[in-house]
Amino acid sequence: MERIIFYILALIMIVFAIKAVSSRKMLRSVIYLLFVLMGIAGIYFLVDYTFLAAVQLAVYAGGVIVLIIFSVLLVHHIELQLDEATLKSRISAIVLSLVGGGLTLFTIWTYQFSPVENYKAIEVADIGRGLLSYGDGGFILPFEVISVLLVAVMIGAIVIAKGKRLEQ
Amino acid sequence: MIQGISIYEILTLTSIIFFIGLYGFLTRKNLITMLLSIELIFNASAINFVVINKYLFPENLQGVFFAIFIIAVAAAEAALAIAIIINLYKLITSVEVKDTETMKY
């Protein structure tokens, strides 16, 4: 059962990822990206990391995609089609991606992973304790740095987006 | 871990998504669509962290923390990039890469 769900999710994600990078309507490619992100949340659900899946759905599907949709609506005419890359640059990009992907897949498939059998779900309390502990394996410092980063980004985004017009 | 699915299959899926994102980043000529490709790359690497944590080191939670940090940094990066893009549109009324030389000062 999980196997079938995984393959359906994988198919959906790959098809919509290809459509997201090749569609010539900008708003459509954002929506295709939304499907890919939801598929990724599905993968997180399958490996029993439900908190991460919820974060993925809330932050990406709820936050980032809406932000990008708004910016598309602000800066782009809907009926306009995007410029297509020249055939030469597309072919070189495909070759580069295929070579890189082939190398990565070859490395992955020849490496001997030794997975540990486990089906236990983690609790949100464990994640919270890990994030806030300053003992061994605790993540309190990155957590604080991330919160400072978020404040800095918030102020920076406001200051930058206010901007000035060229004629002023 | 997912019943009947080995780590190789998931890593194959994430590699494919990563290189689709790379292809999009190389071929797109528009700032917002390039940002979309970067989001694909970020997400593929976040799944890798989570899956390697789940399959190889299930007693630790490091991969989950890194995935959370990747999501936070990616959200911050998207907000900042969109602020820059909107400001750029105000300046030159275009978000194409070929028109963006005004940023260089």
Instruction: Provide ipTM, 2 decimals.
Output: 0.90
Domains of chain B by residue range: 7-103
Strand, coil or helix: what is A137? Answer: coil
> CB count, 10 Å around CB of A87?
8
CA distances from A97 to A92, A144, B17 (A): 9, 37, 11
How far is A131 from B69, CA to CA, in rounded Å?
Answer: 11
Helices (H), A47-162: 50-55, 65-75, 87-110, 124-132, 140-162
Q: Say yes or no: B65 contacts chain A, CB-CB below 8 A.
A: yes
Residue type at A116?
V
- What is the per-residue pLDDT for B29? 86
**Cα B34-B39-B42 angle, rounded to 5 deg:** 130
* Residue B74 pLDDT exceeds 70: yes
Q: Does B67 touch chain A (CB under 8 A)?
A: yes
User: Is the pLDDT assigned to residue A149 strictly greater than 90?
Assistant: yes
Inter-chain CB proximity A109 and B51 less than 8 Å: no
Contact predicate A68/A107, CB 8 Å = no
- Written as six digits, the tokens of B32 are 């917002």
Q: How far is A82 from chain B (nearest CA, A)?
A: 8
Q: Is B82 on the interface with A (CB under 8 A)?
A: yes
Average pLDDT over residues B71-94: 88
B36 to A20: CB separation less than 8 angstroms, yes or no: yes
Distance CA(A86)–CA(B37), nearest Å, equals 18
Give pTM, 2 decimals.
0.89
> Which of A4, A21, A40, A151 would you mutate first to test chain B, the one with the most B CBs within 10 A?
A21
What per-residue string of b and e applies to A17-50 under the rule 16 or more CB within 10 Å gives b? bbbbbbbebbeebbebbbbbbbbbbbbbbbbbbe
User: How far is B49 from B83, CA to CA, in rounded Å?
Assistant: 29
Express each pLDDT in A34-88 by its tens digit. 999 999 999 999 888 889 999 999 998 888 999 999 988 988 777 777 777 788 8
| CATH code matching the domain that covers B7-103, chosen among 1.10.287.3510, 1.10.240.10, 3.40.1350.10, 1.10.10.10 | 1.10.287.3510
| A1-93 CATH, one of 3.30.1330.10, 3.40.1280.10, 1.20.120.1200, 1.10.3720.10 | 1.20.120.1200
What was the pLDDT predicted at A148?
A: 94
Instruction: Delimit the domains of chain A by residue range.
Output: 1-93, 122-168
Asked if residue A98 has pLDDT above 60, the reply is yes
Minimum Cα–Cα distance from A51: chain B residue? B64
Higher confidence at residue A138 or residue B73?
B73
For chain B, the average pLDDT equals 87
Q: How far is B56 from A117, CA to CA, in rounded Å? A: 9
d(CA B14, CA B76): 23
How far apart are alpha carbons B39 and B85 in whole angstroms?
16
Do the chains contact at A64 and B74, CB–CB below 8 Å? yes
Each residue's pLDDT tens digit, B2-53: 777 888 999 999 999 999 999 999 998 888 899 999 999 999 999 999 999 8
Say which of A17, A142, A160 has its CB closest to residue B84. A160
Are residues B18 and B46 in contact, defined by beta-carbon separation less than 8 angstroms? Answer: no
pLDDT, residue B93, reads 80
Query: Which of A130, A146, A154 is closest, CB to CB, to B69?
Result: A146
The reported pLDDT for the residue numbered A126 is 84
At A93, the amino acid letter reads: A
A101-128 burial code (b ≥16 CB/10 A, e <16): beebbeebeeeeeeeeeeeeebeeeebe
> Are residues A113 and B8, on separate chains, in Cβ contact within 8 Å?
yes
Which residue does chain B place closest to A75, by CA atoms? B89
**Contact criterion met (CB < 8 Å) for B69 and A142:** yes
> How far apart are alpha carbons A102 and A118 in whole angstroms?
30
